[in-house]
Amino acid sequence: MLVELGLVEQRYQAVLEVFDGATVTDVARRYGVARQTLHGWLRNYASGGLAGLADKTSRPASCPHQMPPLVEARIVELRRAHPGWGPRTIVNQLRRDGVDPLPGRSSVYRALVRHRLIEPTKRRRPRSDYKRWERSRSMELWQMDVVGRIVLADGTELSAVTGVDDHSRFCVCAKLVRRATARPVCDALAEALRRHGVPDAILTDNGKVFTGRFGMAKGPVLFDRICHDNGIRHILTAPYSPTTTGKVERFHKTLRREFLNDNTFATIEEAQVALDAWVEQYNCERDHQSLGDRPPIERFRLAQRDVDLDVIDGDVDLVDNEPALPRITRRVGTDGRISLAGFTYLAGRWLAGQVVEVAVNGGLVEVWHRGVLIATHARRHPPGKERDVVRREPRQRSARPATIGPSVLRMVDGSGSVSFAGTNYRVGNAYKRRQVEVAIVNNTVQLSAAGKVVRVHPIRHDRAKEHGAFATPKGRPRRKRPAA
């Protein structure tokens, strides 16, 4: 009859056999264990008796680097009081509170996960893979924008004109306005210039309050005039590219999470006072991760700022004693440059093929597009040389007469193209729903209207289908609808 013995009973029998005189080698071979294991059973039985032969946990009795309970309780308290704080911000706060030993960021993260205060995140790219693009010094570039959907207690919706320094992340402007129109936005800009000085450049998006680039205005808007009159280079982002002004957009996220979402104000004056206090804390006390956990004021105070200059608000016309030359028109090349008096000046690749206006004022060469100043360069050509090449309008080339030969009439469709021999050829949107003549000249398809050539394309259709195309010189006859 077989009897199943427990693990402790088997170990106890092995120990008794050794006590009865059997050798450790023979007993270990019979029980299928190593001699060292059997010696361990003997030591455990000698020190703990029969209970010493039971399995024990491998967990250590103590952990020297385990987080103290008081520190863990402080971490949980900070997280619940500030739901927007992450592990890194909590570590900085513990450092300011004088906690010793100071836990690491990963230890704080695990503590928050244990208490179910944050969700475990998936493995992300290492921080070394991310590159930060910033200017080399403060006051070299400001990023400005307008953020809306700021609601008062009575439901009134406000906007905020914001601006941050690209190098130091210092908030230079945070002004609440009832409507983000041209005058309130420019008043906020002028106030920031008087308080912090004039930067070298300002980067904005293509909003109508910043530029007339995509508007109906023929000249510069008020924001452009303030920048131009104060010697500031106004830089515009590419259309639909919010990441270009990423620093001020990230400031908006922090503004909403740490200030707007937790506060409600009755009046705009009360909200502005509270916002000014929060901006002061943001600039001078709050640690910024991209700055090595230091406040932005430590970088911004190193800038060479001149706040004693008189800021021109855009309503004052500057007097220039030097006679200004008439604007010169130039077409931008594929490399984004224009040619003037034997020298090239950069306008921008995004303007390739467009006609721009060039103004020479003293030692500056200004490039304008649709009434917006897009680039300013120091003059590199000799003074007065550009007078020999001044012309107000680009040269207009007269269209040559159409070549006489067999041709057919075709109707331009809604996309600005005509069909000939089963192939579409582009004519232009200006000729939609109009008839044009199509002719074969050498190895090209010539499109003409009113006896003047409009477009010439290389032949792309099957030459065998030309006979059928010329058989219908006025196009395919339209079907008559039967009378109802």
Residue whose entry in the numeric block shows the structure tokens 């455990």: 44
Residue 322: its pLDDT value, please?
Answer: 40
Residue 332: its pLDDT value, please?
Answer: 85
Closest CA to 189 of 207, 208, 175, 169: 175
Distance of CA 22 to the CA centre of its chain: 80
Q: Which two tokens stand for residue 229?
A: 């009159």
User: What residues of the chain score a pLDDT lower than 50?
Assistant: 1, 316-324, 391-397
Q: How far is CA 435 from CA 401, 417, 451, in A?
A: 17, 11, 12
Quick one: which H or E segment has residue 369? strand 364-369
> pTM score, two decimals?
0.53
Question: CATH topology for 142-300?
Answer: Nucleotidyltransferase; domain 5 (3.30.420)
**Spans of all domains in the chain:** 7-53, 69-120, 142-300, 328-389, 407-471
Residue 79: its pLDDT value, please?
Answer: 92
Residue 479: its pLDDT value, please?
Answer: 59
| Dihedral angle sign, alpha carbons of residues 183, 189, 194, 198 | negative
Closest CA to 370 of 391, 353, 355: 355
The Cα 158–Cα 168 span in angstroms is: 27
Residue 2: its pLDDT value, please?
Answer: 58
* Distance in Å from the first CA to the final CA of the chain: 106
The Cα 479–Cα 216 span in angstroms is: 44
Contact 151, 157 (CB under 8 A): yes
The Cα 316–Cα 313 span in angstroms is: 7
Q: How many other CB atoms sit within 10 Å of the CB of residue 329?
A: 17
The Cα 140–Cα 129 span in angstroms is: 26
Residue 481: its pLDDT value, please?
Answer: 57
Residue 333: its pLDDT value, please?
Answer: 83
* H helical segments located in 291-353: 297-300
HSE-up (13 A, CA, CB side) for residue 13: 7
